[in-house]
């Protein structure tokens, strides 16, 4: 009894200091899954600060397919390998909503929503999103979206240099807000700028300090609260505006009102949709243009494909602006008749879009690779385990959309960027359409190349895999130097 009491007391004391007693007394209650040594707080801090490097280096050091560490009081099991991956994406007991809760730092959560994030029903959210992003609604709104992009591009002028990780994100943000809210908001440039600034403020609040010590009254906590409150107040005004309108519109807010949702729930859906669409679609659109800025052959093939679509489907005159000709192309053609652009987007996602995903085990204990995953444990997986793995993709860091062609040697390799198994991406088709629209208008309207700050041509930059949201390039920033060739 004395030893048991001492062991428990020592364990509690060391846990407060971030040390596991397993490594002081290796024969006592040794965990079945390899647990990282050292201070738990240091491991958690390193993971939150550099997730990609943390996972890769520890898999290499330990030689295990699974290893465990702690984030606050939560046990997290990092996994890799084929067996673990298939279970991660297909096990019905693994919950992605609760997994995201652990790292919700930058995800906007409205405080007075009836179903807060701890009880948030992802299935219900997806049902709401499908009411907003279905093909029929996108068809109706596509000419307006093209006009939005055109007007923003007019501000660029006939020639110049722009930052894809700023200017392209601004295009995507406007498109996403229009899809997710109402025309009164989307048509107000000043409010769009204010909303965009609040979102970036929210994104930057997801610091390791803010995630590990959410109670700490620091800058991150203050910025997060200010951003969420500001977004709530702004969107609440527009929801009230649409409720008071004499005639409902086809805008997202009206669709959600007609579905019987209260204001707070509508605002939660809009904030979540804008955050996800803005970050992910903006990232991929920017990187597609970056890669094509150094790959003339693929850029020429993409331009030829888009021109073929215009010739085949746009019943418009050549004198009309390019954005109007593009908006006349039917949705079916955008989805089914762009194999070159599809391959370019897919390859960009393979290299760049490698997030660290989370699940929580809400079922009974189960086995992975001969190890036990306890009920309540979190699991984490970075999809670069497949996408940047030479076992699946030859020369994985090379931008080569041809690898997915019928004759490509990597065409049958696993591809996880849009989700798989029980967790496919609800907004995949909408995201693809938005990316194609931006890329098509840029390629048809401008001749451009990728340059450094002094205007010299550069090679494709390396991706900062530890940049959790934007995946900006490593090292010096790059720019797109452009010259308008069509209206």
DSSP H stretches of helix in 103-134: 122-132
- Say if strands 74-79 and 378-382 run parallel, antiparallel, or are unpaired: parallel
The residue to which tokens 């606050």 are assigned:
72
Distance CA 66, CA 34 (A): 7
For 213-224, letters b (16+ CB in 10 Å) and e give eeeeeeebbebb
For the chain, the straight-line distance linking the first and the last C-alpha, in angstroms and rounded, comes to 83
Rg (CA), the chain: 24
How many CB atoms are closer than 10 A to CB 191?
A: 16
Contacts 24+ apart (CB under 8 A), 369-378: 369/65, 369/66, 369/79, 369/81, 369/83, 369/84, 371/32, 371/33, 371/66, 372/32, 372/33, 373/77, 374/75, 376/75, 377/75, 377/76, 377/77, 378/71, 378/74, 378/75, 378/76, 378/77, 378/99, 378/102
Distance CA 69, CA 75 (A): 6
| 278 in Cβ contact with 199 (< 8 Å) | yes
Query: Annotation-wise, does 425 bind a ligand?
Result: yes
Give binding residues as ranges.
Answer: 425
Annotated binding site for heme: 425
């Amino acid at each position: 009894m004395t030893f048991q009491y001492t062991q428990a007391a020592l364990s509690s004391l060391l846990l407060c200091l971030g040390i596991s007693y397993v490594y002081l007394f290796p024969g006592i209650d040794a965990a079945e899954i390899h647990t990282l040594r050292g201070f738990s707080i240091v491991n958690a801090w390193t993971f939150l600060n550099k997730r990609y490097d943390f996972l890769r280096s520890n898999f290499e050091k330990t030689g295990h397919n699974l290893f465990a560490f702690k984030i606050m009081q939560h046990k997290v099991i990092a996994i890799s390998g084929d067996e673990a991956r298939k279970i991660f994406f297909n096990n019905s007991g693994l919950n992605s909503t609760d997994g995201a809760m652990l790292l919700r730092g930058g995800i906007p959560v409205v405080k007075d929503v009836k179903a807060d994030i701890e009880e948030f029903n992802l299935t219900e959210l997806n049902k709401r999103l499908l009411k907003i992003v279905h093909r029929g609604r996108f068809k109706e709104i596509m000419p307006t979206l093209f006009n939005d992009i055109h007007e923003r591009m007019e501000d660029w002028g006939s020639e110049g240099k722009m930052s894809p990780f700023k200017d392209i994100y601004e295009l995507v943000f406007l498109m996403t807000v229009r899809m997710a809210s109402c025309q009164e908001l989307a048509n107000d440039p000043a409010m769009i700028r204010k909303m965009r600034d609040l979102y970036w403020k929210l994104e930057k609040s997801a610091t390791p300090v803010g995630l590990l010590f959410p109670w700490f009254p620091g800058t991150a906590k203050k910025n997060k609260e200010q951003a969420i409150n500001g977004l709530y107040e702004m969107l609440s005004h527009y929801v009230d505006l649409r409720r008071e309108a004499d005639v409902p519109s086809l805008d997202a807010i009206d669709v959600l009102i007609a579905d019987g949702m209260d204001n707070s729930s509508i605002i939660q859906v809009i904030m979540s949709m804008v955050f996800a669409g803005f970050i992910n679609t903006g990232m991929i659109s920017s990187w597609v243009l970056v890669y094509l800025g150094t790959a003339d052959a693929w850029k020429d093939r993409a331009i030829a494909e888009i021109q073929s679509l215009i010739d085949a489907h746009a019943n418009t005159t050549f004198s009309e602006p390019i954005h109007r000709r593009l908006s006349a192309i039917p949705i079916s053609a955008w989805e089914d008749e762009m194999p070159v652009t599809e391959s370019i987007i897919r390859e960009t996602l393979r290299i760049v879009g490698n997030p660290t995903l989370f699940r929580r085990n809400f079922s009974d204990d189960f086995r992975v690779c001969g190890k036990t995953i306890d009920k309540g444990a979190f699991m984490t997986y970075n999809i670069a385990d497949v996408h940047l793995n030479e076992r699946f993709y030859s020369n994985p860091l090379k931008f080569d959309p041809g690898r997915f062609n019928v004759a490509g040697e990597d065409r049958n390799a696993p591809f996880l960027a849009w989700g798989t198994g029980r967790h496919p991406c609800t907004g995949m088709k909408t995201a693809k359409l938005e990316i194609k629209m931006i890329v098509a208008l840029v390629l048809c309207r401008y001749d451009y190349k990728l340059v450094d700050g002094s205007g010299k041509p550069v090679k494709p930059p390396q991706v900062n895999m530890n940049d959790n949201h934007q995946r900006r390039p490593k090292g010096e920033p790059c720019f797109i130097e452009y010259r308008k060739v069509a209206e």
